[in-house]
Structure 1
Amino acid sequence: MTTMATALPGSASGVLDETLTMPLPVLMYHSVGDSVSADFRRWEVPPGVFAEQLGALAASGYHLTGLTDALAHPHRRQVAITFDDGFEDFVTTALPALQNAGAHATLYVPTAYPGRRATWLDGYSERNLPLLDWSDLAALADEGVELGSHGHRHLELDVVPTALARYDVTASRRAIEEKTGRSPDSFSYPFGYHCASVRTVVAAAGFDSACELGYRLHQPLRSRFAISRLVVDRTAGAVDILRLVANGHRDALANARRGLRSGWRAYRAARWRLGHGT
């Protein structure tokens, strides 16, 4: 990689250190298991495949860590590992594999749901998958798992009224603080949806970073409140995961999703208004 001749404030040389320009691969997982319906399988990685992915990354010299720790150490060759939703299989299946690989992770929790079911998954049988309860989550925090917020009620924050988005984000932060005694640093936008006003709300609530989907490697000079993540395929073996963290998503479908965002948001906003009489 060629060093960028870009001035860095406070740098004696006036040239940006090459290591600071290295992109950060941020992997997004939901469930580690092999027992769900075909519709949900995009969001589930079988245990053996997950262990293979971690092993390949560790063997290739990547430091495997949570998001906030990764952002605090930009000079390392590293991969940030994140999980959304807080399914019980994080403890039963994902965590032992992480520990075996010497890896850490960030777990994003929708704070209205601990100990309940994933009822926002309308249309999926997985709406009945159990979620970790608050005692589980507090124990994970004590074991070094970073807990972040996935909103309070898992709302599409970019299409709801700003006042409601603000309440939901602040409620989620307060719940984690009250239930675990720890203040969360990072936020994950439910469904990956966000916009400028939502990013402002999340920053004002006291978070230091926030994740979208994005399908790209996160570039260090981009906003910490639009950190792009990579969706990990359930069939991704050692070669595939190494290619993913090196290049990000290169497929046409990912490009198409990025191009359709504005139209999809307009549709979702209209659906919200119709469903709530506004």
Structure 2
Amino acid sequence: MTSLAPAASGAAGGVFEGAPTMPLPVLMYHGVGDSVSADFRRWEVPPGAFAEQLEALVESGYHLTGLTDALAHPTRRQVVITFENGFEDFVTTAVPALRAIGASATLYVPTAFVGRRATWLDGYTERNLPLLDWSDLAALAGEGIELGSHGHRHLELDVVPTALARYDVTASRRLIEERTGRRPDSFCYPFGYHCAAVRHVVAAAGFESACEVGYRIHQPTLSRFAISRLIVNRAAGAADILRLVSQGHRDALLSVRRGLQSGWRTYRAARWRLGRGA
């Protein structure tokens, strides 16, 4: 596999002296393929659609890269590509499409499951999907893919005891560095859940940024430890992806969902305590 280091920017995507810091669209993918269960397919994008999305972004002058590289070049016209979990289709399907256009990405890894199955996906047939192993991940890191942490055991970090959250976050960072030789700079909150205490834990562990879901375009004035991402619809074509990175999600139901977050966290905390027998 050829290097996936970020390609040189042209005039449309380069850094211009004195240019203003740009809003940063961050795209969120889980897989590129077609799952067995219909309910999981909303988290995947078909290979042809993925290639079409990437091509549309490049042709419109966007530089496609990973998160840490993007944050280091805030005046560049760019879109961040992120993937979660490390399913095998990242190597077999996503990477060839990225390589074809000279793009890079950030892959967030739940370290306890490396080389195993996605057993945290309760209720989905996809809980049996194989995940990349450490040799795969080390090879990707050497080819220009940024490896970030998705926690160790894919826990809902905002409802577990702080000591457990701290162990989970630090263990994930240590394992990635030990097994790949690359220190991860970026973190992705499992399920997108976080709070002030979790953000502090992640920053204290040495990470430089962290992603939520958020459904918004990240603004440079906001915290690097609550970087919002945009979920890509599996049916999104060229016009849809260009609209998404320029406008964000326009769904009115999202504001309602944000308003229910506090109650949802209370429910999840109670569920976790019951599951632990507390």
TM-score range, shorter chain: over 0.9
Alignment match, 2:149: 149
TM-score by length of 1: 0.92
Aligned positions of 1:37-76 closer than 5 A: 37-76=37-76
TM-score, normalised relative to structure 2: 0.92
Residue 251 of structure 2 is matched in structure 1 by 251
Deviations 1:105-141 (A, max 9, x none): 0000000011100000000000000000000000000
1:86 is aligned to 2:112:
no
Aligned to 2:20: 19
d(CA) in 2 for partners of 1:222, 1:42: 28
Indicate the residue corresponding to 1:9 in structure 2.
none
- For residue 39 of structure 1, give the secondary structure of its aligned residue in structure 2: helix
Structure 1 segments, 4+ long, off by >4 Å, are none
Match of residue 235 from structure 1 = 235
Residue of structure 2 in register with 1:196 after alignment? 196
- Matches for 1:127-142 after TM superposition, within 5 Å: 127-142=127-142
**Number of residues paired by the alignment?**
261
Name the SS for the 2:92 alignment partner: helix
Partners of 2:63 and 2:179 in 1: CA distance:
30
Q: What is the RMSD computed on CA atoms of the aligned residues?
A: 0.9
Letter in 2 for 1:232: V
Structure 2: how far apart are the matches of 1:35 and 1:215?
23
The answer to whether residue 161 in structure 2 is matched with residue 164 in structure 1 is no
Greater shift, 33-42 or 188-197, is seen at 33-42
Asked if structure 1 preserves the Cα contact closer than 8 Å seen for 2:19 and 2:75, the reply is no
1:141, 1:186 → 2: CA distance? 14
Q: Which runs of 5+ in 2 are unaligned?
A: 1-17
* Distance in 1, Cα, partners of 2:189 & 2:266: 18
Superposed displacement of residue 102, structure 1:
1.4
Say if 2:275 is the partner of 1:269. Answer: no
Deviation sequence 1:8-36 (CA, Å, 0-9, x none): xxxxxxxxx6621x210000000100233
Q: Which residue of 2 aligns with 1:210?
A: 210
Report deviation, 1:257.
Answer: 1.9
2:205 is matched by which residue type in structure 1? Answer: A
For residue 154 of structure 1, give the secondary structure of its aligned residue in structure 2. coil
Shift of 1:178: 0.6
Corresponding position of 2:3:
none
How far apart, in 2, do the equivalents of 1:237 and 1:269 lie?
38
Q: Distance in 1 between matches of 2:38 and 2:192?
A: 21
**Counterpart amino acid of residue 171 in structure 2:** A
Aligned amino acid, residue 120 of structure 2:
W
Identity of aligned residues (%): 82
One-letter amino acid of the structure 2 residue matched with residue 60 of structure 1: S
How many angstroms apart in 2 are the aligned matches of 1:35 and 1:195?
Answer: 32
Post-superposition CA distance 1:179-212 (Å, at most 9, x none): 0011100000000000000000000000000000
Tell me, in whole angstroms, the C-alpha distance in 1 between the residues paired with 2:232 and 2:131: 21
Amino acid at match of 1:121: L
What secondary structure is seen at the aligned counterpart in 2 of 1:272? Answer: helix
1:258 CA displacement? 1.5
2-structure distance, mates of 1:132, 1:208: 24
Matched, 1:107 2:107: yes
